Amino acid sequence: MGSGFKKKETVDMGNYAPNDREQAAKDWCIKNKIFVSPTAKNASEWYLTIINNSKVTQSPLTYKKVEIWKELFKFYTYYYDKYSGVEVIKKVKPKKVIKEEIEKPKQIINYELF
């Protein structure tokens, strides 16, 4: 015999593993009462709801699975960078250096014929 309750349909929101910086930003934000969480629009799209010291804001855009988690951590990182007071040194990839070939002087070979 069952309990009489129907099983709820599961929703796949995808998987995302945050890097160390994103996880640290999330931890800092939660300690400082800044929360970012997904809010369902339907079974395949979500808004992001941001609570910043009791001020509630909802993203105007909706996000699909996996994308929702990337955006969530992007918001945590944004608020961490803005309010933590920690100077962030961003790693910048060096620009491509175009190597110009320098013409080497041609060797002049002087052969004397007879």
Domain ranges (residues) in the chain: 20-83
Distances (CA, A) of 71 to 87, 93, 96, 97: 22, 23, 29, 33
Alpha helices in the chain (DSSP H): 20-31, 67-83
- pLDDT of 49-105, one tens digit each? 999 988 999 999 999 998 999 999 999 999 999 998 876 555 555 555 555 555 555
The whole-angstrom separation of Cα 51 and Cα 105 is 68
Determine what percent of the chain falls in helix, strand and coil, rounding each to the nearest 5.
25, 15, 60
**Reported pTM:** 0.68
* pLDDT-above-90 percentage for the chain: 55
Residue type, 61: L
Give pLDDT, residue 70. 95
